[in-house]
Amino acid sequence: MTEDLLAALALAIALEGAVYALFPARMKAMIAQVLTLPDGALRGAGLAACAVGVLLAWLVRG
């Protein structure tokens, strides 16, 4: 279980790094846009992403 968690974390870091490497200007613009969002909207988006991630992991791991 710990190995799976670490592998998933490593994959998430690698994917995020690839996005920053491939699209640095777009990522800067997106970060600037995120900074203007109200806390509630950012919290809601984070909770939604978390729920989708848990659901997908549950479906894949069965």
The predicted-structure confidence for 12-32, as pLDDT tens digits, reads as follows 999 999 999 999 999 999 999
Lowest mean pLDDT among 16-25, 30-39, 52-61: 52-61
Q: What is the mean pLDDT of residues 53-61?
A: 91
| Sequential DSSP letters for 5-20 | HHHHHHHHHHHHHHHH
> What residues contact residue 37 under an 8 Å CB cut-off, 6+ apart?
45
pLDDT higher than threshold 90 for residue 62 = no
pTM score, whole prediction: 0.73
pLDDT of residue 1: 78
